Amino acid sequence: MTAAKYLVLADGSIYEGTAFGATATCGGELVFNTGMTGYQESITDQSYNGEILMFTYPLIGNYGINFDDDESVAPTTAGVVVHEVARKASNWRNQMSLADFLTHHNIPGIAGIDTRALTKRIRMAGTLRAALVNTMAEAQVFLQKQEQPNQTNLVAQSTTNNAYPNPNSGKRIVVVDFGLKNSILRELAKRQCNVTVLPADATAKTVLSYEPDGVLLSNGPGDPKDVGQALAMIRTVEKQVPLFGICLGHQLFALANGADTFKMKFGHRGFNHPVREIATNRIDFTAQNHGYAVDLNSLTGTDLLMTHQEINDQTVEGLRHTKYPAFSVQFHPDAAPGPHDASHLFDDFLEMIASYQQQKRSVQHA
């Protein structure tokens, strides 16, 4: 017999469904993802640290789980909400069911929820605090207490504790890990980059001690203003080597250069977000996962130029420094899963490195 599970919202709403995955309870912000596929990549994306992840696509788990597509080895997503969980997975790569995967990682899930109606509710009301509980009594406790979780250490929970290499024969790239997706490393590996991954609290002295050809600031969870220790590092590094920021790395790049960020009403999470490159009017469909954005008005008076903009809501999707070889994007050019329209940005990064090094040689020989 399938056990009951309850999704309770901070506004007093309670939804009854059926449990799958772990029997644990959890609390966190309820957010929605519009992707038709990619549930494994999303659940293992550290950018969802502490969040209850709801999928708008009605059937989740139909192609199972495999051991190759994880974006991190220890997912920190708090819980999963679906309309229907597949009873049987069918795919030649399938190695485990979604329910077993969630159980293994102690992540609770609830099925039987009208995710379409609940998504509309979030779009109107904004992101809501929520909990997944096993009894109505636990639901009432949540509504009475509604304790706010400690959100200030999400990056500390998501980053690596120690530096580690992903060696190859090409350009030396230091990746600062704020909640790194493995797909970023895969894209760098495709380009033969010799990568060293450093913890989020790495100083500029530590970063530069590896004599990198370029530095990449990774994605990660939470409010960029909670990662203030990284700003001084960014301001020093961008003056000395080419720099590329992705998602949270983009927001930190903006803050380090005098711009501001804000919390969005319900964020961008999915694989179908259209983004316009301003210089060329090129449209890319992009993978996104963020609840904060750079304030367009705050760019005035800075050395930052907006390069990309979201078509649906006109939020800032890309920045370039006007003095230093540094740029960033809010979306994921590594996709995984999703459209690969923007993967060329990794090539642009390497071309920026080559151009910068050529300029340095020209100056030295002048």
- Check if the beta carbon of residue 17 is closer than 8 Å to that of residue 42: no
Rounded to a whole number of angstroms, the distance between the first and last alpha carbons of the chain is: 79
Distances (CA, A) of 20 to 2, 80, 101: 8, 9, 10
Give the other-Cβ count within 10 Å of 23's Cβ: 12
32, burial (CB in 10 Å: exposed 0-12, middle 13-18, buried 19+): buried
Cα 304 from Cα 350, distance rounded (Å): 20
Give the model's pLDDT for residue 149: 56
Catalytic sites, residue numbers: 247, 332, 334
| Pair 310, 318: CB distance under 8 Å | no
Q: Which domains does the chain have, with CATH numbers?
A: 4-145 (3.50.30.20), 156-365 (3.40.50.880)
Q: Can you tell me the distance from the alpha carbon of 93 to that of 88, in angstroms, rounded to the nearest whole number?
A: 14
Averaged over successive runs of 10 residues, the pLDDT of the chain (366 residues) comes to 90 95 95 94 95 97 95 96 96 96 98 96 92 94 72 87 96 98 96 98 98 98 96 98 98 98 95 94 94 98 98 97 98 84 94 95 77
